[in-house]
Structure 1
């Protein structure tokens, strides 16, 4: 080394290179072996080369001069052909880098005015990463049972390892261990989340390589197994279709087996389709999930499937077809299908058990302790389940009687007339009637007994017997008949009452007319000169005619009533009957009575009210 170079180096050392701070980039600079690196200074280029530029490599306290440039360049043999000096800025380019090119690089520049510019940086040469390889001890794993170890190897210098599961970076944790400076990854035990593609990424400052992925298959499960029924209904109608599905988290997918009430159905698959389901298929369904890799199984909670038959063929059956008053009666309500509820109604109103009726056999039987005629009505039985409802009605007609046998007809009748007697009774069904005499001689089979041209030998007792062939009951009534040799007035008490009313009307009209005539005659006597044309038209005659001589010839009608006799020849009294009306025929004989007859009748005692009591009465209406 010549004297000038040594002096320059010593001068730089003594000044501490402070004048060159920031001349070179901060190190270390990274470069690949076999590549190149350029140390650029921050010095402003000059028109003329710097008088002196010196580059030195400091390696393990050894200073190795690279190049010294002044009037003549001096280059170390180790760098011959590998360097380029840019004399206007002092920058240096180094090519064909080797590992031993790593170290600290210094530059010293002396300007024309003897100023010194110096700088320092470092270089790290690296072997690029290559051939990253991943090895694993097993790829088929079982959750919680297996441990897996993955190892990564690569060429390169100053390399780093990073592990990836898919795109997610793996960090050390409870079940994750990183050893051998990160080159080995251990998972113990594996979980389902460790399933997937694993890679290792190898890098240094200048390069990066990722290994081929390795697939880890982690089997797990089955976990909790669930069963789903569709449609989800509490009750299913017989003949419907339902689908049962089984779910469980498992890798690989579980194998499913189906059970009914704990019995293996030998049905496999995640779905069980029940077509046209029958009531016999009701029960608790469950499914078993099995994983052949993990050798684990899990059974679901049972799901209840309730299949019901639809209600059909509803009927009501009576214990007897002829309910009879005073006897027991049962109505039984039957139906095909799954019966949940029965409800009885009468005339649309819900029946409530009491002392008269009871319900038993799950309300299938309605019992009447003793049925009576008021129980006659329509009775309905409504049978239902959650699927459907049916209702049927049965009409009860209670048989009773005969009761209250009555005979209608005359108690007296005239010979040669026609006798009609009518017998009636309260009875369901209608009673049959038989007429007999008191000595049990059968006379007639009908409700009405008719005999014409009657004679006195027909007097006596007539017995009407009413019979009900369902109730088996017979009841009789007796009618006593008297046959009279003389005609008997056919007028009844109501008839006579009508005659009395008519007579009162006629009598009132006669009295009013008499009073009117009397009053007019008196006015004529007191006012003989008065114009007679103003008289009432009640007095016959033309204008101004004297009609006083005609007054005695005015028609006067009257009625004579009584005496009244009953059919047994006894006298009776009349009264007005409220329940019915009878009519009387009033026959009027034209022609005025004599004055003496009129006076005699007017002085008679007024008739008193008479009671008829249903007896026949006789009356005469006279008109003179």
Structure 2
């Protein structure tokens, strides 16, 4: 019988392959394992069945008896119909090689049973809390009780896999992330496995400090130019973790005393113009970053506009009109008499339209000039009335030229002049007390007759011009009816000429008759001729006066 069994066993090494499923079988400590054969009740009945653990018998079965090993009393159940075996209350010592031999058929099978303690209480040791991007490494360690066979690390819902920066060591229980970046931060958990159990640790948060970066400065209101006295707000922002940053402000590269994410410029002045920038500092990363500068240009409001001539506007002279104002002028525009001023051969603009130049001013340049001074934040106008100074010219005297004694005298002197001329009066070359355009006298005297001269003077142009007027004053009682004083004087002169001619003619005939030497006669003497003319003139003046 024993021989047959041995022979059957040896034969079953080949023929019985597959009676038990491929192993190993896994079971927890304290658990139950079922060694289920591939046989069915139709394959029986079985004469003899041996179950062994290593070299140790577990149970021997035949139709007359079922004899378990004492170590397995109460822990096993044998199923004769399929030759299967259930093992309960497993311990670590139950792990090993199991085999079954079945007669008839010389069937045999073997498998392996692995016993595991269930894993529990997975714990992750957290890394340093001060992780700085690109400067720090994060090291996590996972520990657990039980029979651990593998570790899996999770960041959120994603599995962490090894790479050039991510290292898994000690069977995966240790996770090291070298030169952490912001993308490595998150909630890390460790999942611990064995074939019969698994457990997940509580999450550990990895926070990576980074920044500052993308430092930006915004200006409100946003514009290129600002009016003096405006209020401007500058705000600095940056990306970082944690978001707590320190901010510093700079003007043209010089640090200001102001700190914080906002710089308020109240009632800003032109002296505050320049390039502003802000700098962010992270106390954990110990890094600085500065924003791009923003230019702030402050302009004064245009005030006090005025147009000033460079010299007196005297006709024929060169003159500049200068347009200026307080503030920050950036543009000027000229108009004349409501129309845009157009330069020509005599008129030119220079110095960014600040100076309007006349080569020579003339009366055609008279008019109302308007200079508009502006900058992008304000504008103002200055007016100038140009009156070109000239003269005097066209001086003339009007009035009655023939009056009798006791009649009023009224002579008016006029002249074209800007500004108005002043007047000086003379009678027969002697200045008389009158300095207005009008010379008047209530009662004429004979001595008021004569040649009147009016001299006009323009004190600005320093030019003079004069006119003469002859006034006749006569006594009304001896004046022939219908004859003027000029007529009477003319009659007297004619009489004198006739008398002189008669005397001269008589003397001429007398000399020829007496045949005297011509040079000895008194009328041929130059001095005697002059005396005669003086006498005739005296007679004329006497007649004229009476």
TM-score in terms of structure 1 length:
0.62
Quote the residue 1:13 is aligned against.
12
Question: Which deviations, in whole Å up to 9, do the C-alpha atoms of 1:320-354 show, x marking residues without a partner?
Answer: 6x633234544333322222233434343245486
For residue 123 of structure 1, report the CA deviation from its aligned partner: 3.9
Is structure 2 residue 190 aligned with structure 1 residue 200? yes
Is structure 2 residue 46 aligned with structure 1 residue 52? yes
Query: Contact 1:346/1:378 (CA < 8 Å) preserved in 2?
Result: yes
Q: 1:38 aligns with which of 34, 37, 42?
A: 34
Is structure 2 residue 322 aligned with structure 1 residue 326? no
Question: Which deviations, in whole Å up to 9, do the C-alpha atoms of 1:276-332 show, x marking residues without a partner?
Answer: 222222233333333333434344444332222222222223456x63323454433
Distance 2:167 2:374 in 1: 69
Distance 1:473 1:177 in 2: 108
SS class of match (2:329):
coil
SS class of match (2:179):
coil
Distance 1:64 1:12 in 2: 20
Question: Which deviations, in whole Å up to 9, do the C-alpha atoms of 1:510-568 show, x marking residues without a partner?
Answer: xxxxxxxxxxxxxxxxxxxxxxxxxxxxxxxxxxxxxxxxxxxxxxxxxxxxxxxxxx9
SS class of match (2:172):
coil
Question: Which deviations, in whole Å up to 9, do the C-alpha atoms of 1:556-594 show, x marking residues without a partner?
Answer: xxxxxxxxxxxx9xxxxxxxxxxxxxxxxxxxxxxxxxx
SS class of match (2:464):
strand
For residue 16 of structure 1, report the CA deviation from its aligned partner: 1.3
Quote the residue 2:256 is aligned against.
265
Is structure 2 residue 240 aligned with structure 1 residue 254? no
Is structure 2 residue 420 aligned with structure 1 residue 403? no
Quote the residue 1:371 is aligned against.
361
For residue 432 of structure 1, report the CA deviation from its aligned partner: 5.7
1:64/1:338 CA distance change after superposition, 3 Å: farther
Distance 1:428 1:108 in 2: 148
Quote the residue 1:84 is aligned against.
77
Quote the residue 1:93 is aligned against.
86
Distance 2:480 2:44 in 1: 188
1:184/1:203 CA distance change after superposition, 3 Å: same
Distance 1:5 1:240 in 2: 115
For residue 383 of structure 1, report the CA deviation from its aligned partner: 1.8
The unaligned stretches of length 5 or more in structure 1 are: 489-567, 569-624
Distance 1:334 1:251 in 2: 56
Quote the residue 1:277 is aligned against.
268
Distance 1:370 1:377 in 2: 15
Distance 2:344 2:216 in 1: 48
Question: Which deviations, in whole Å up to 9, do the C-alpha atoms of 1:185-214 show, x marking residues without a partner?
Answer: 233334444444443221112211233444
Which range moved further: 393-402 or 436-445? 436-445
SS class of match (1:199):
strand
Quote the residue 1:382 is aligned against.
372
Distance 1:345 1:55 in 2: 128
Query: Contact 1:135/1:152 (CA < 8 Å) preserved in 2?
Result: yes
Distance 2:23 2:417 in 1: 132
Query: Contact 1:55/1:108 (CA < 8 Å) preserved in 2?
Result: yes
Which range moved further: 71-80 or 477-486? 477-486
Distance 2:295 2:47 in 1: 97
For residue 409 of structure 1, report the CA deviation from its aligned partner: 8.1
SS class of match (1:52):
coil
Distance 1:69 1:481 in 2: 184
Q: 2:279 aligns with which of 272, 288, 292?
A: 288
Distance 1:116 1:13 in 2: 5
Quote the residue 1:154 is aligned against.
144
1:242/1:419 CA distance change after superposition, 3 Å: closer
Query: Contact 2:15/2:107 (CA < 8 Å) preserved in 1?
Result: no
Quote the residue 1:543 is aligned against.
none
Distance 1:449 1:269 in 2: 86
Distance 1:410 1:366 in 2: 49
1:454/1:338 CA distance change after superposition, 3 Å: closer
Which range moved further: 325-334 or 436-445? 436-445
Question: Which deviations, in whole Å up to 9, do the C-alpha atoms of 1:92-126 show, x marking residues without a partner?
Answer: 4332122343456666788xxx8899877654332
1:366/1:486 CA distance change after superposition, 3 Å: farther
1:275/1:416 CA distance change after superposition, 3 Å: closer
Query: Contact 1:160/1:203 (CA < 8 Å) preserved in 2?
Result: yes
1:71/1:230 CA distance change after superposition, 3 Å: farther
1:357/1:174 CA distance change after superposition, 3 Å: same
Is structure 2 residue 131 aligned with structure 1 residue 141? yes
Q: 1:391 aligns with which of 364, 381, 399?
A: 381
SS class of match (2:30):
coil
Distance 2:120 2:183 in 1: 30
Q: 1:471 aligns with which of 446, 461, 481?
A: 461
For residue 34 of structure 1, report the CA deviation from its aligned partner: 0.9
For residue 474 of structure 1, report the CA deviation from its aligned partner: 3.2
Query: Contact 2:231/2:266 (CA < 8 Å) preserved in 1?
Result: yes
For residue 27 of structure 1, report the CA deviation from its aligned partner: 4.3
Q: Count matched residues.
A: 477
Is structure 2 residue 298 aligned with structure 1 residue 304? no
Query: Contact 1:129/1:155 (CA < 8 Å) preserved in 2?
Result: yes
Distance 1:54 1:392 in 2: 131
What RMSD, in angstroms, separates the aligned Cα atoms of the two structures? Answer: 4.7
